[in-house]
Amino acid sequence: MLTASGCSVTSHVTRCENGTCTVNLTGAGSSSELGSSVSTVTLVSAGDGAATIELDGAQGSCSAGETIELADRSVECTEVGDNSVKLVVE
């Protein structure tokens, strides 16, 4: 995919089953609703091996393989890339 200089691409893929959601976010500001709940997860930034994410107003940072608690939910960062993150939210 080619983008013009100064433009950014955001995307998300979310799959939820039995209260656990797998989320792929690409591009700062990309967000996704988690299943039928009213929860929303947003990628604030990602790079240098760490991602900053926001879940229902709570913000935190994680590295690949790290699990953090945000908004009373468990969030595992399974992969962190340049401007992207893969999460498992329970």
pLDDT at 6 exceeding the cut of 60: no
pLDDT digits (tens, 9 = 90+) for 17-33: 888 999 999 999 999 98
What is the rounded CA–CA span in Å between residue 81 and residue 25? Answer: 10
- For position 9, what pLDDT does the model report? 58
What is the rounded CA–CA span in Å between residue 84 and residue 90? Answer: 20
Determine the residue type at 31: S
Indicate the pLDDT class of residue 12, thresholds 50, 70 and 90.
confident
Question: Pick the residue with more confidence: 12 or 47?
Answer: 47
- For position 1, what pLDDT does the model report? 39
* pTM of the full structure: 0.85
